[in-house]
Amino acid sequence: MIELALHVLDIAENSSRAMATLVEIDIIEDTKMDVLSMEIRDNGQGMDEKTLERAMDPFFTTKKVRRIGLGLPMLAQAADAAEGMFFIESEPGRGTRVFVKFRHSHIDRQPIGDMAGSVTALILGNPDIDIVYVHKKDGLTYSLDTRDIRSGIGDIPLNHREVLDMIRNNLDDGIKELNG
């Protein structure tokens, strides 16, 4: 993966396979402290200790279609390459938390990429999962919570074309405001 948004999408898709009903994505950019951090949390089925240990093995996956699990190891490698750190914790019945931090200005830090596209794709493919996306940059905050959107649209599904267009435009505008 060449951008962080694709890592976020991959991890959040793992959450959907783990039967999560809520996925929370936090992106924090602090250019003065030279830190970029990402945290993805879910309330899915979680992993036992043995599975959690194997989660970082690129030749282990619980997926039935693809027999290798490169997502988490590649993200950990990306963090290491940018003087960062990677952390994962999980508990059966309680969900999983992935935290990664990078030196923001590091030449080898992958670009954030199309986060609006990744969040929109996540909603498109998982309209019954609630997504909370919070992006902070140098004191400014943008957030999107599908629970709020649901309360405003009634019975219309989140993956309805007009709703998705509205979500994508909102994400694009909000992230653009953060970047000045």
Q: Which domains does the chain have, with CATH numbers?
A: 4-178 (3.30.565.10)
123 contact partners, CB below 8 Å, separation of at least 6: 131, 146, 158, 159, 164, 167
Give the relative orientation of helices 4-17 and 115-125 as an angle to the nearest 10 degrees.
20
CB–CB of 134/142 below 8 Å? yes
Please give the Cα distance from 103 to 107 (Å, whole number).
Answer: 9
Q: What is the pLDDT of residue 70?
A: 64
What is d(CA 5, CA 12) in angstroms, rounded to the nearest whole number?
A: 11
Three-state secondary structure along 3-22?
A: CHHHHHHHHHHHHHHCCCCE
Confidence of residue 130 (pLDDT cuts 50, 70, 90): very high
Token pair belonging to 98: 């992935």
CB atoms within 10 A of CB 20: 23
Q: Read off φ and ψ for residue 28, nearest 5 degrees.
A: -125, 120
pLDDT digit string, tens, across residues 10-51: 999 999 999 999 999 999 999 999 999 999 999 999 999 998
Q: At what angle do helices 146-153 and 161-178 cross, to 10 degrees?
A: 140
pLDDT in tens, 60-95: 665 555 444 468 999 999 999 999 999 999 999 999
pTM (predicted TM-score): 0.92
